[in-house]
Amino acid sequence: MCADTGTLLGLQYPDFAPETMDKLKALLPDYATPANPLDMSASLAHDGEKYTAVIQAIIDKREVSA
C-alpha cells in the first residue's frame, strides 16, 4: 500500500541491477516478482534466514536507500 501511494504521488523506484535480481530470484518463491518495490511474499515472514538474505542482497549494492 505504501508503494502504491508513493507511485500515485510521483515517487520513482530504481531498478535493481541484474546481479541483485539474480540473487533475489534464487531467494524468493517462484511466484514472487524480484522488482522494486519488492513484495517478498508472506512466506518469508516465517523464514528469518531468507528474509535477512533478501534484505542483505538489496542493501549490499546500495542501489536503494531508506
Other CB atoms within a 10 A radius of the CB of residue 24 amount to 21
**pTM score, two decimals?**
0.77
Residue with cell 531508506: 66
26: pLDDT confidence band, cut at 50, 70 and 90? very high
For 30-65, what is each residue's pLDDT tens digit? 888 888 888 877 878 889 999 999 999 988 877 776
**Residues 6+ positions from 35 with CB-CB distance below 8 Å:** 15, 16
Assess contact for 24 and 38: CB atoms under 8 A: yes
| 18: Cα within 13 Å, side-chain hemisphere | 0
66: pLDDT confidence band, cut at 50, 70 and 90? low
